[in-house]
Amino acid sequence: LAKTTQPISMDSYEGQEVNITCSHNNIATNDYITWYQQFPSQGPRFIIQGYKTKVTNEVASLFIPADRKSSTLSLPRVSLSDTAVYYCLVGERYGGATNKLIFGTGTLLAVQP
């Protein structure tokens, strides 16, 4: 199972772009990279998923280099409500015996006015 490494915390100000990088040196060929967001007293919520290059949705962008050993979640123009813990996971996208989705320690993003 690929293990992920993220910064424990990050600080930002409203309106700034925030980039959170995750290392996953042992990522397997069939693994996808998925990011989740968790607010206090709530379950994690899916943000974005990708396999390689770049993926963008209405919330964030995900940049994955060619070797796939890392990924960067980009949040454009953050607001106070983006203060949360962000988790990076790697695992097979399709269910089965190896679909074991392990959460790392996550990155606590604190957005200030």
Partner 1 sequence: DAGVIQSPRHEVTEMGQEVTLRCKPISGHNSLFWYRQTMMRGLELLIYFNNNVPIDDSGMPEDRFSAKMPNASFSTLKIQPSEPRDSAVYFCASSAQGAGELFFGEGSRLTVL
Residues 42-71 close enough to bind partner 1 by CB under 8 A: 42-46, 49
Min dist. Cβ of residue 74 to partner 1 (A) = 19
Does 35 bind partner 1 (CB under 8 A)? Our answer is: no
What is the three-class DSSP state of 46?
strand
Stretch that binds partner 1, among 9-17, 19-27, 74-82, 101-109 (CB under 8 A): 101-109
State how far the Cα of 104 lies from the Cα of 113, in Å rounded to an integer.
28
Does 7 bind partner 1 (CB under 8 A)? Our answer is: no
Contact 54, 40 (CB under 8 A): no
**Residue whose structure tokens are 């919330």:** 59
**Residue whose structure tokens are 């925030």:** 18
Question: Among residues 98, 12, 110, 93, which one has the least CA distance to residue 46?
Answer: 93
Stretch that binds partner 1, among 6-14, 33-41, 52-60, 61-69 (CB under 8 A): 33-41
Residues within the interface to partner 1 (CB under 8 A): 32, 34, 36, 41-46, 49, 87, 93-97, 99-106
